[in-house]
Amino acid sequence: MNLSPNTTRYLKSGLVMAGIVIALLCADTLFWWRTTDTIEAEIEARRAALETAGWTMTVEQSTRGGWPFGAWVTMTSPHLSHERSIRAPFDAGWSGTRLRVGGLWPDLIQAGFPVLLSGRHAARFIAPTLQLTILSQDLHLRFSADHETTFASPSTQIALTTGFLDQSIALTGVSGRLLTIPNALPDSTRLGLELSAQTLNSPALTSLKLSFRNAHLVAALTPSAQKDASSFFSLGGYDRLLLQTATFSIGSKPDASRLSFSGSLDLPAVTGHLTLNLLNWHNAAEQLLNTASARTALSPDLQAILQHMLREQPSSILKQAQPLVVDLPILNGHFPLSLETLLQNISTQKIDVSH
């Protein structure tokens, strides 16, 4: 049977397209096998390094996946633990629902290595001077060769207990990056953190009927010249905490008060100073005056001044007022002044009442 020229042409085009698709699928399959082999080899290398450092890692099941749109290795019920020892005096553990190493081809082409911790995950760290617990949901990580790890999670809860602090916070819309250089030189960053969150809440804020939004933190720890790299998880391994900024908006309005902290603390004594800067302080003052538990901490003259300004001054004038700046000394991890004393000793000269 003779085929028409058009049929022959379409048949040849179809065969060419089929050949291209088959070739692409073969290449994709080959690349998938090589990538998953590389991922599994990297996982085993990390597992061996962790075991050498005193950690134990277990998983319920490990499977390959992603073909043909990507390549990854999924581990179910992963668990990581570390028992206290003389060289590393801390207990730590992490457990989760599912850990996926790898991703779609576009994710693998980008710099860094993607990791997804799907579901709920919990981590704990217990040292002689502190206890830290972190709960997160659907945590996205990307590890890079320059000691930097980026992270993002829709929600995270943190509980921290030390000799001078016992607090828990809940964050939503969390993202940031972590810099870890165990063998950093003195006066350089050994552990650095940049963190942003859409909302921040805690029991203390709830009692004051306050809510923080658009939180942003940038901090760094410098290494101690007297300690070796084994003290990475101990305050004794650090010389100073440098707080570049810790900022929060008090409320969700565009003109909400903006609270920021900066300063430095010597370690391990936790002694130094912080500077508090409050923009649009009139909004925060109104919230304090409307909250009984906070209002009672203000001195009577300061209450009178704030009430007078909020009642007599136009809002447009208040928005142009100078920010409130307060120096906060820190001694051995404690404020030498109580909150009541601190509020009562705020100099009224730091509040612009000249308008």
Per residue in 58-104, pLDDT (tens digit) is 999 999 999 999 999 999 999 999 988 777 788 999 999 999 999 99
Residue 350: its pLDDT value, please? Answer: 47
Helices 300-312, 281-289: crossing angle, 10 deg rounding = 120
Most confident stretch, 45-49, 248-252, 313-317: 45-49
DSSP code string of 239-265: EEEEEEEEEEEESSSTT-EEEEEEEEE
What is the DSSP pairing of strand 79-82 with strand 91-104? antiparallel
pLDDT-above-90 percentage for the chain? 44
310-331: average pLDDT:
67
CA of 302: how far to CAs of 70, 162, 198, 292, 315, in Å? 63, 33, 32, 15, 19
Helix residue ranges per DSSP H, the chain: 5-52, 105-109, 203-207, 281-289, 292-295, 300-312, 315-318, 339-344
Report which listed range, 128-132, 295-299, 307-311, 319-323, is most confident.
Answer: 128-132
- pTM of the complete model: 0.82
**pLDDT exceeds cutoff 80 at 32:** yes
Distance CA 346, CA 325 (A): 9
Averaged pLDDT for residues 257-262 = 88
d(CA 52, CA 49): 5
Q: Is the dihedral of CA 183, 263, 177, 54 positive or negative?
A: positive
pLDDT tier, 319 (very low <50, low <70, confident <90, very high otherwise): low
CA angle 314, 317, 318 (to 5 degrees): 90
pLDDT at 323: 74
Alpha carbons 311 and 147: distance in angstroms, whole number? 54
Instruction: Specify the range with the lowest mean pLDDT, choosing from 166-170, 220-224, 257-261, 287-291.
Output: 287-291
Q: Would you say residue 210 has pLDDT above 80?
A: no
User: Radius of gyration of the chain from Cα atoms?
Assistant: 28
Average pLDDT, rounded, for the chain:
82
Three-state secondary structure call for residue 108 = helix
Say what the pLDDT of residue 304 is: 73
